[in-house]
Structure 1
Amino acid sequence: MIRRVHPALLATAAIPCLAGLLAASTSPISTSASVPFLTGLPAYQDGAASAASSQEVTDILDERLTAIQGMDAAAIWSEASRVAGLVGDEFGATFDAVVDEKLGQKSLGAKDILFLATVRLTGENVDHAKIAMRVSEVLKSKDADLVGAATEFLGSMAREISDRDTRKDVAKELLASAENPEGDAKLRVAAAVATNKLGNSPQITAARRVLRSFLASSDPNLRAMGALGFAEISPVEDVDGVEDELDRLAELPGENGRLARAYLEQLRSTRFFESTMRRLREDDSERRLGSDIPQDLERIETMIDVIQKYHLDGSEAKRSDLLEAALQGMLSSLDRHSSFFTPEEYEKFEQNLEAEYGGIGAYVQNDPDDGIFTITRPIYSGPAYEAGLSTDDKIVRIDDWPTIGEETDEIIKRLKGKPGTDVKLYIWRRDMDPTLIDRPTEDMITVIKRAQISIPSVHRELLPGDIGLVELQSFTRGAAIDIASALRDLEQETKGGKLNGVILDLRNNTGGLLDEAAKVSDLFLPKGEVVVRTESRIAESKVFKTQLDEFIPSDTPVAVLINRFSASASEIVSGALQDYGRATLIGQRSFGKGSVQNLLRMPNENDDEYIDENRNHRRDNWENITRDWDGDGEFDFAPRIKLTIERYRLPLGRSIHRELDEEGNIKSLGGLSPDIEVEARRRETWRLREMRRIQDTRVLRKWVLEKFEGNQEEFKKLAFCDFDNPDLYPGFDELYDSLDTTLTRDDVRFLLRIEVRRRVQDTRGSAFPLGDFAEDLQLQAAIENILEKKGTSIQDIPEYAGTFDDRTPLGDAMAEAAPPARRSADEVERAMALIAAAEADGLSKARADELREILKQKN
C-alpha cells in the first residue's frame, strides 16, 4: 500500500506541517515543535533531514499515544488511520522506521500497540508476522473492548501471515480466549472464528468445538452466536444445525437477522447456480447421446485397429484388454479413486471387503526360499489352528493333488470349499526328511473340516498399566463388533475390570465401508452425534449419526494412531473423535481421501447366477452355479465401475480431501493433522540393507526354532517385553558373533525379537498387533499421552521405563556429552557402516573383512 497525502492538503499553505494537520483534528495535541511539511522536507538535506525528521515523528507519535489513552478501540482505529493518511510518500520510509522502533518497545500498553500496529499496516514492507505477535499481547488485556478489537485485527490479517510458527503461536493465544469458560460470549466466538482463520488443523478443530458448544446451547442468543460464527468461516450447509438456526434468526429484526438473511441468500444463490449447472450438464449429455457418441466410438475402434496392426506387440494385444484399458483411462482421468474392475479384480475386491469365505483359515504363500506352499500364520480362530497347524508348516499335497510347482491361486481354490466338508492335507515341517516333500507319507496327513472363515480385522493387546491397544486393519463388515469384542476382552484382563486408556491404531488402514466407520465412532461418542455427512452433485446429503450410547466411558482417555497411509474411513473415525475432543490424534498427517465411491455393475452385463444356500446374499466359492453366461464352468462377476459420487464432511464441517490440479500437483494438502506429531523410526540405508541380509539368511528364524521348545516360557516374556536387553536371550553372544555383521547388538536383538514374537503367536493363539510398545515411537507417544492424562509417568511402569526411547533434543545433547570411550564405539560402528556401504558398491569381500578385523583389533 502506498500512502498519499490528500491533494487538498498539498494545495493549501494554511497548514504548513504535520503538527498543524494533526492540530486540526478534534482531539488535542501540542504543536510546540516546528515541523517542516512532511512531503517535501525543504529545511533539511540528506542524513540531517532523516535524523531531524525521525525525532519530530517520534515527538508527534508520542503526543498521539498520550491522546488515545482516553479513547475506545473504535476511536483508536479511526485516529490511527487518519494519522497514517497524512504521511506523504517521500517521508514514508522514515515514518515507518519510527513506528517499527516504537512497536519494538517492551513497555507499550494495549492501546499503544493497537494504535501503532494499525498505523504500520498502511506503510511499506510490512512485517505482518511481527505485528501479529505484538497485537496478540493485547488478548491478555482485562479490557474486553480492546481484546475484541485485537481479535478482529488478527482475524483480518490471517491471509497476510505466511509464517507457520507465527500463525500457530497467535492462534494459541486466540484459542485460549475462545476456550475460556469465564470469558465474554461474543469474545469467545470472535476468537474461535479468528483461530479458524489462523490456526493449524488441531487448533481449527478445537475452535470449531467451541462454536459447536454455542450452537448446541439451550440459550437462543448463544445458539445465534454459534451459527453466525460457523457461517462466517465455512459454507452454511457444511455444519449440521447451522442452516436451521439461521432460518430462525432471519425472521428477527436487528443485526443478527440481517446477517442471517445475507448468509441464507448466499446459500440459495450457490444452490441455484449448482442446480442450473447440473441441468445444463444433463442437457448437454442428452444432446451428445443423440449425435456425437457414435463418432467418438469410431475413434476408439480406429485406435484399437492401429494398435493391433502397427504396435510392436500388437499381434498379442487382445481387443478386450484394450477396451478395458480405455475404460480404466476414462475413470482414472476423473480422479484417482474412480476405477474400472474386471470380473477377476472385482472378485478379489469383494472378498477383501466382506472378509469371509469357506476354507481352512490360514494366511499362505509360496515360500521365497524354497518355492513350497507355506502357512505364514494360521488364523487362530480357524480350523487349521485347531487341527494343530502352525506358522511355517508346508502344505505339499491336498488330497491326492501335489502342490509343488502349482500356482498359488490354484492351490487356494482347492483349500476353499463348503463349510463342514473335509480336506486332507499333507504337512511337511523343517525337522522332517526333505525327500518327503515329493513323496509324503500317511503319517503326514492332517484332516481339516472347513468352516466359514472370517478374516480378523482386529488385533489387540493389554499393555502395561492396563492400557488397551486395538489395531484395526480395515473397515470390513463387522469391524465395529470386532472392536467392541476386543475391548470387552481387554477389560476382563485388567486388574480392576476397567481400562485406564484405549489406543486405537489406524495406521496403514486405507478405509473400507462408510457405515462401519460410523459404527466404530459410535463406540466412543454419545448417542445422536453427527459422525460424517456426505454431499453429492446428484443426491441428497446423508448424515450418519451415532445410534447407541458410547461403549467406552467418557472419562477413559483415548488416543488414535494415524500415518500417511490412514485414509477414507480411518480419517472419518479419527476426524470425528478429534472434532469432539474425544481422542488425541498421534503420528503423521493422514492420506487425505475425503471422497465416497459407489460400486456400479456395468450396464447390460450380469453376474453368473447361483444358489445362495446360506442366504448371506453373496456368492461363496462352494455354492452351485445355475447360470454360467460364458460357459467356462467358473462363477464370473460382471465388470464393475467404482465411481466417486460423494464427498464427506466431518462433524465440524471440514473436508480433508486432498486436491490435485490437472498436472497432478497438490492444490490442497488435505488429510488430518495429528495433535501430537511423531515420525516413525527411521534407520540408515546401510543398516536396513544389512538387516534385510541377516533376515534373508533365516539364521535367526532357525535359531528361535531350535531354542523354542526348551525356552517357551522365557520366550513368551521376551515377546512381550525384553527391556532392550540382548543378554536376556539364552546364548545371544554366541549367536551374534556367528553373524559376522556390522549391526549392533541392539539391532540384532530387535530382529531376533521379531522372530520370537512370530513364533510365540502360535503358542498363545492370538496375533500381536503390529505396534510394539518396546520399539514403536508413535505408540510410545500415545502411551505417554494417556499416562499423563491419568496423572502418572512411564517411570512408574518398569516395562516402559526400561524400553521407551528418548525422543527429545535432550537425548542428542547427552550423546554429545558422552565420555570418550562411548564416542570411540560410535566411531567404530560408523566405520563399519562405511565398509558395508563400500562393499555394496564393489569393494571386495576379502578387503572388507580385512578392514573389519583391523577395526576390531583397534577397538
Structure 2
Amino acid sequence: MNLKIRKSLLLFLAVLLSAGMLFSFVNKNDRLFAIAKNLDIFASLVRELDSYYVDEINPDELVTVGINAMLEELDPYTEFIPEEDSDDFRLLTTGEYGGVGALIGNRTGKNMVLMPYRGFPAQAGGLRIGDEFLKVDTVDVTDLQTSDISRLLKGPANTSVFVQVKRGEDTISVNLTRKKIVISNVPYYGKIDDQTGYIKLTDFTTNAAADVRKALIELKAQGITRLVLDVRDNPGGILKEAVEIVNLFIPKGKEVVRTIGKLENVNAVYKTTKSPLDKDIPIVVLINERSASAAEIVAGALQDYDRAVLIGRKTFGKGLVQTTVPLSYNSQVKVTTAKYYIPSGRCIQAIDYSKKDENGNANSVPDSLRNEFKTKNGRIVLDGAGIEPDKNVESKTFAPITYSLVARNLVFEFGNEFFLKNESIASPRDFNVDDALYNEFVAWLEGKEYDYTTYVEKTLEDLVKYSEKEPYFEDIQGSIEDLKKKVNHSKEQDLVTFKSEIQEALREEIVSRYYYQEGVVEASLRYDEGIKSALEILGNQQQMNQILTASAKK
C-alpha cells in the first residue's frame, strides 16, 4: 500500500476513533466488530481501486469524499477539517489570522477588495473597496480563485507582501506588512438617541464578551439609560463567550445553559461567575432567522430570566454543541457531542437529525411535539423551534428592480465611481442620496442591462404554463396576450416608483467606501424597523413591564 493510501486510511480511521469508538478485532461486541469489518472492506476497496482502476486515482481526494459523505449522514455541523483548511477554521473560531485585514471576493467576474478592515494593513496601505487584484508578490492572480488569493495574502505576522491592484484606469502597487488580524465581534456601537445605546454583535469568537463589555462601559459613560443589543445575522460561536455576555446583565450564580450528551464528560452546567455590569438597565435584543447557536443562548437566557424583550423574528434553531477533536496529520473533526438547554429547561433545536424520512431528509420538530416551559415570571415559552420573539417584526422585502440593481453589481459599481470622484461625504447618519445624485445614477444606468421579472409577470407566466394544459386555452389565449401587454413592466417607471429603497441601497454602498463596516451599520439604523420597534418599547416602561410579566400564550 503506497504512502498516500496509508495516510488516507489513517485519517478515516482517526475520525471513527475520535468519536470514542475504540475497537479490537477479538472478543468485542457486534457493533465494534461491524466497524472493524467495514474498515477492512474500505481499505481493501481503496487498495484494489489503486491497482485496477483504468485511470490514476488520488487517494487523498477519494477518501476525503468518503469521509464527508459519511459525516453528511449525521448532521450539517459534524465536519472533517483537513490540514490545509485549518487556518480558515481557526479564523472562524478565534477571529484571528495573520494577513492584511481585508474581505475579498469576486464581483463582475473580477477578484477585488470588498471591505478593508479599519486600522489593519490593507486599509492603512491605501487599498479600497473595488480595487481589482492583479498580482500578489510575483504571482499573476487575475485568473485565480478568491480562496487562492486569500491564501497568498495570509502569512506570518511581520512578513511583507507585495500587492498590485487596478483602480479605475490606474494600476497601484503597495508593499504591505502582515499583522496578526483580530476581527472585532462588535463592528459598531453608539447612541441611537440621547438615552439609548446600541451594540451590534456579529460573532462569538474569542473576546466577544470583552468587546461587548467595553462597548457597554463606554456607552454608560456617555449617559445611556437603556440598551439595544443586536444579534441579527449572528451565526454564533464560542459557548463561553455567550455565558459571559449574559453575565453582564444577570447576577452571579445563575444558570445560563447546560449541555447534555451521550458521554459524561460533555455534560456541563454553565453559570454566571461574576457580578453583573448592569442588572437593571432595560434591554431589547434584536433577533432574526439567521441568529443561531450562541446568539440564541444569549437571547434565550435573557428571555428566560425576563431580563430583556426580544424583537424580530424566530431564530434559526441550533441547539447542538460541537467539540473539535484533533486527528492525525494535523487534521481535525468537529463533531456534535451534546444538546444545550437554556434556563427554562428548553432545547431550541429545530431539526431532529436522528429521524429522517424515506428520502434521507431530516424534518423540523412538529408543533404537536413541542413542549411548554416557563420563564422566571411565568411566561410560556416553547422548545423545538428556535427562540420566538416577544414582538414580531416582519422581514423587509425589496422590489425586483432593487434586487436586480444590487445582484448585477450596478449599485456596487456606481459606488466605486462615486468614490473616485468625491474625496469625502457627510457622516453615515447625515449622508443622503439626494435627487440630484439619484438622477445621476439613473442617467448612469442608461444602456446597462438590469432586466428582471416583476411579481405580476411571474404570476402571469405561471398562469400561462398551467393554462396551456387545459382544453379551453385557445379560448383565453387572446385575453392572456392583452393582459401581458398591460402588465409589461417599465424599468423607467420602476426607477420612480421604488426610488426610496434604491436610494437606501445606494446610500449604504457609498457610505461603505468612506466609513467601512461600522459606517454601513450606522447608516442602516435610520430605516431599521427593528430599531423603531425597540425605541417604541424602551420608551414605554409600562408596555415593557407588561410584556415581561404577562403569561403570554405563544
TM over 0.5: yes
Residue 300 of structure 1, CA deviation: 3.3
Matching residue of 1:453: 181
* Structure 1 residue runs of 4 or more that deviate by more than 6 Å after TM superposition: 305-311
Higher relative contact order (CA 8 A, sep 6+): 2
Matching residue of 2:288: 563
2:264 alignment partner, one of 530, 536, 539:
539
Alpha-carbon displacement from aligned partner over 1:121-158 (angstroms, at most 9, x marks no partner): xxxxxxxxxxxxxxxxxxxxxxxxxxxxxxxxxxxxxx
| Counterpart Cα distance in 1 of 2:350 and 2:190 | 35
Higher strand proportion:
2
Alpha-carbon displacement from aligned partner over 1:587-638 (angstroms, at most 9, x marks no partner): 1111221121111123xx24xxxxxxxxxxxxxxxxxxxxxxxxxxxxxx22
1:675/1:302 Cα in 2 relative to 1: closer, same or farther (>3 Å)? same
| Counterpart Cα distance in 1 of 2:493 and 2:408 | 11
| Counterpart Cα distance in 2 of 1:741 and 1:347 | 48
Matching residue of 1:683: 398
Matching residue of 2:449: none
Is the CA contact (8 Å cut-off) linking 1:459 and 1:768 kept in structure 2? no
Is the CA contact (8 Å cut-off) linking 1:503 and 1:561 kept in structure 2? yes
Matching residue of 2:73: 333
| Counterpart Cα distance in 2 of 1:762 and 1:696 | 15
Is the CA contact (8 Å cut-off) linking 1:598 and 1:642 kept in structure 2? yes
Matching residue of 1:779: 531
Matches within 5 A, 1:418-567: 418-432=156-170, 436=171, 444-466=172-194, 467-492=196-221, 497-539=222-264, 541-551=267-277, 553-567=278-292
| Counterpart Cα distance in 2 of 1:285 and 1:682 | 63
Higher helix proportion:
1
Is the CA contact (8 Å cut-off) linking 2:99 and 2:153 kept in structure 1? yes
Matching residue of 2:457: none
1:643 aligned counterpart, secondary structure: strand
Matching residue of 1:80: none
Is the CA contact (8 Å cut-off) linking 1:577 and 1:583 kept in structure 2? yes
Is the CA contact (8 Å cut-off) linking 2:286 and 2:311 kept in structure 1? yes
| Counterpart Cα distance in 2 of 1:697 and 1:782 | 30
1:502 aligned counterpart, secondary structure: strand
| Counterpart Cα distance in 2 of 1:699 and 1:382 | 24
| Counterpart Cα distance in 1 of 2:36 and 2:109 | 54
Sequence identity (%): 27
Matched, 1:712 2:418: no
CA-atom RMSD in angstroms: 3.5
Matching residue of 1:586: 311
Letter of the 2:263 partner, please give it: I
Is the CA contact (8 Å cut-off) linking 1:499 and 1:556 kept in structure 2? no
Is the CA contact (8 Å cut-off) linking 2:405 and 2:411 kept in structure 1? no
Residue 478 of structure 1, CA deviation: 0.8
Letter of the 1:774 partner, please give it: R
Matching residue of 1:829: none
1:690/1:297 Cα in 2 relative to 1: closer, same or farther (>3 Å)? closer
| Counterpart Cα distance in 1 of 2:389 and 2:224 | 23
Is the CA contact (8 Å cut-off) linking 1:563 and 1:590 kept in structure 2? yes
Is the CA contact (8 Å cut-off) linking 1:425 and 1:446 kept in structure 2? yes
Matched, 1:730 2:436: yes
Matches within 5 A, 1:376-455: 376-432=114-170, 436=171, 444-455=172-183
Is the CA contact (8 Å cut-off) linking 1:471 and 1:769 kept in structure 2? no
Matching residue of 1:288: 30
1:303/1:563 Cα in 2 relative to 1: closer, same or farther (>3 Å)? farther
Matches within 5 A, 1:72-471: 286-288=28-30, 291-301=33-43, 315=55, 318-366=58-106, 368-369=107-108, 371=110, 373-432=111-170, 436=171, 444-466=172-194, 467-471=196-200
Figure out how many residues of one structure are paired with residues of the other and give that number: 451
Is the CA contact (8 Å cut-off) linking 2:428 and 2:520 kept in structure 1? no
| Counterpart Cα distance in 2 of 1:391 and 1:285 | 64
Letter of the 1:705 partner, please give it: F
Is the CA contact (8 Å cut-off) linking 1:736 and 1:745 kept in structure 2? no
| Counterpart Cα distance in 2 of 1:422 and 1:347 | 19
Is the CA contact (8 Å cut-off) linking 1:509 and 1:566 kept in structure 2? yes
Structure 2 spans left out of the alignment, 5+ residues: 1-19, 367-383, 446-490, 545-554
Letter of the 1:502 partner, please give it: L
Letter of the 1:732 partner, please give it: Y
Is the CA contact (8 Å cut-off) linking 1:459 and 1:769 kept in structure 2? no
**TM-score with structure 1 length normalisation?**
0.48
Residue 573 of structure 1, CA deviation: 0.8
Letter of the 2:529 partner, please give it: L
1:644 alignment partner, one of 327, 336, 359:
336
Matching residue of 2:385: 670
Matches within 5 A, 1:756-775: 756-764=507-515, 767-768=518-519, 770=521, 772-775=524-527
Alpha-carbon displacement from aligned partner over 1:213-254 (angstroms, at most 9, x marks no partner): xxxxxxxxxxxxxxxxxxxxxxxxxxxxxxxxxxxxxxxxxx
| Counterpart Cα distance in 2 of 1:491 and 1:766 | 23
Structure 1 spans left out of the alignment, 5+ residues: 1-277, 437-443, 607-636, 793-859
Residue 515 of structure 1, CA deviation: 0.9
Residue 414 of structure 1, CA deviation: 3.3
**TM-score with structure 2 length normalisation?**
0.72
Residue 325 of structure 1, CA deviation: 3.2
| Counterpart Cα distance in 2 of 1:672 and 1:510 | 14
1:509 aligned counterpart, secondary structure: coil
